[in-house]
Amino acid sequence: MIKYITRNAEETHKIAKSLAKKIIASPLPEDLALVFALKGDLGSGKTTFMQGFAAGLGIKEKITSPTFNIFKKYPIKNEPGSYEPGSFYHFDCYRIEKPKEILDLGFEKIISDPKNIVAIEWAENIKESLPKNTRWINFKFVDKNTRVIDIS
């Protein structure tokens, strides 16, 4: 477990970006996609973290929360790298009521490709559909500009 305290949105962005860079510089996992489950109150910094994370994967598009579509897919651009031509999947499960709903969106196929990287806001809503290798990232709102981020 690593605990970070960030004092503004840029610091959260930076932590996420360097985590993503570290991941794509590492060998591919053997069997499943890497899955990050983000948990924390509204405004605690999950989407901000996602924006930094995507930047670290070389994604130039603007990352916005996919609340209505549940997920958005972006090509990972880390040439030259073993993750190419994988995709980054940004899920927001705020609207999911039953964990099994995620399976109708092809979730199992997405997580079964080791070239993919999957990050999920409101992951507690699909807890029982998450793979065993899931890494949890917890966000705590301390005050207006301070957040505690725990990465397991």
Residues near Mg ion, by CB under 5 A: 46-47, 65, 121
DSSP the chain: -EEEEESSHHHHHHHHHHHHHHHHTSPPPSSS-EEEEEE--TTSSHHHHHHHHHHHTT--SPP---TTTSEEEEE---SS-TTTT-EEEEEE-TT--SGGGGGGGTHHHHHT-TT-EEEEETGGGGGGGS-TTPEEEEEEEEETTEEEEEE-
18 scored as a contact of ligand ADP (CB under 6 A): no
43 binds ligand ADP (CB under 6 A): yes
- Per CB under 6 A, does 46 bind ligand ADP? yes
**How many residues sit close enough to ligand ADP to count as binding (CB under 6 A)?**
19
Residue 44 touches ligand ADP, criterion: CB under 6 A: yes
Residue 24 or 50: the one with the smaller Cβ distance to ligand ADP is 50
In the complex, the residues that contact ligand ADP under the rule CB under 6 A are 6-9, 11-12, 40, 42-48, 121, 139, 145-147
